[in-house]
Amino acid sequence: AQSVAQPEDQVNVAEGNPLTVKCTYSVSGNPYLFWYVQYPNRGLQFLLKYITGDNLVKGSYGFEAEFNKSQTSFHLKKPSALVSDSALYFCAVRASNQAGTALIFGKGTTLSVSS
Amino acid sequence: GAVVSQHPSWVICKSGTSVKIECRSLDFQATTMFWYRQFPKQSLMLMATSNEGSKATYEQGVEKDKFLINHASLTLSTLTVTSAHPEDSSFYICSVVAGAANTQYFGPGTRLTVL
């Protein structure tokens, strides 16, 4: 069965500091991995995805994520956090051979960036 | 990415009434749409997969007679919550699948409150 784990309910960082939001996954076969961000009372916004190729994926708003196959991880990172980055972040996965099926989401991690 | 709209953005109704939520793919013909519900500060729970021109596929535990899904065209899927009760109060979000790796793009969500 496919699953995603986001071990931290909340991550707190100071503005200007680097941030990391953790994600590990379990899937049969090769994974397609995604990060989404959700602001209050809004839908999810796509940030970035890993399909194949370079393990370091760059996405929107300066975010990036590193795919690590041996650790089955896909942590979201940003070198310098902004207060406006404060939101709920979701990691999601699907097996590459299951096109058209819904993504499996982690429980979400609330990022709080203080000024 | 695909642009997805939902209508209404919020709705308040009395217990026992039915509510219809529309999900539109504005710039993409979507043969598949997904419906999720989300409780406060929780992850997205997949309710059903909506397929254009055929019956929706419901996840285990989701009552298909209560949550009616119609995907009559490639740009519109509707979710009707029939005989709504307070426990149906939730945030309902739809998504379409588009592009590389079947990336999911989400609508802005509909906040349903049943009194």
Q: State the average pLDDT over residues A43-55.
A: 91
Instruction: State how far the Cα of B71 lies from the Cα of B77, in Å rounded to an integer.
Output: 4
Nearest to B102 among A36, A46, A99 (CB): A99
Q: State the average pLDDT over residues B55-67.
A: 93
Contact assignment for B109 to A41 by CB distance below 8 Å? yes
pLDDT at B31 over 90: no
Residue A86: both structure tokens together: 């404060």
The closest of B113, B107, B77, B80 to B94, measured between CA atoms, is B107
**Predicted local distance difference test score (pLDDT) of residue A80:** 97
**Predicted local distance difference test score (pLDDT) of residue A41:** 79
**Predicted local distance difference test score (pLDDT) of residue B102:** 75
Is the peptide bond preceding residue A18 cis, with omega within 30 degrees of 0?
no
SS3 letters for chain A? Answer: CCEEECCCCEEEEECCCCEEECCEEECCCCEEEEEEEECCCCCEEEEEEECCCCCEEECHHHCEEEEECCCCEEEEEECCCCHHHCEEEEEEEEECCCCCCCCEECCCEEEEEEC
Q: B38 to chain A nearest CA, in Å? A: 10
pLDDT at B111 over 90: yes
pLDDT at B101 over 80: no
The closest of A92, A110, A109, A115 to A7, measured between CA atoms, is A109
Average pLDDT, chain B: 91
Residue B59 burial (C-beta neighbours within 10 Å; 0-12, 13-18, 19+): middle
pLDDT at B100 over 80: no
Q: State the average pLDDT over residues A85-111.
A: 89
Q: A60 to chain B nearest CA, in Å? A: 12
Contact assignment for A102 to B46 by CB distance below 8 Å? yes
Instruction: Provide the pLDDT confidence category of residue B39 given band limits of 50, 70 and 90.
Output: confident
Residue A26: both structure tokens together: 């379990």
- Contact list in B for residue A103 (CB cut-off 8 A) is 104
**Predicted local distance difference test score (pLDDT) of residue B48:** 94
- Contact list in B for residue A45 (CB cut-off 8 A) is 106
Q: State the average pLDDT over residues B63-84.
A: 93
Contact assignment for B109 to A100 by CB distance below 8 Å? no
Task: Work out the number of other CB atoms within 10 angstroms of the CB of residue A115.
Answer: 7
Find, in chain A, the residue whose alpha carbon is nearest to that of B6.
A43
CB distance A92 to A36 below 8 Å? yes
Q: State the average pLDDT over residues B67-90.
A: 94
DSSP class of residue B2 equals -
**Predicted local distance difference test score (pLDDT) of residue B36:** 95
Higher-confidence residue: B6 or A52?
B6
Amino acid at B86: P
A45 touching B (Cβ < 8 Å): yes
Largest pairwise CA distance in chain B: 42
Q: A106 to chain B nearest CA, in Å? A: 7
**Predicted local distance difference test score (pLDDT) of residue A97:** 74
pLDDT at A8 over 80: yes
Cα B8-B11-B17 angle, rounded to 5 deg: 115
pLDDT at A40 over 80: yes
DSSP class of residue B82 equals -
Average pLDDT, chain A: 93
Q: A17 to chain B nearest CA, in Å? A: 25
**Predicted local distance difference test score (pLDDT) of residue B76:** 93
B43 touching A (Cβ < 8 Å): yes
Contact assignment for A88 to B41 by CB distance below 8 Å? yes
**Predicted local distance difference test score (pLDDT) of residue B20:** 97
Q: State the average pLDDT over residues A82-96.
A: 93
C-alpha gyration radius of chain A: 14
**Predicted local distance difference test score (pLDDT) of residue A43:** 84
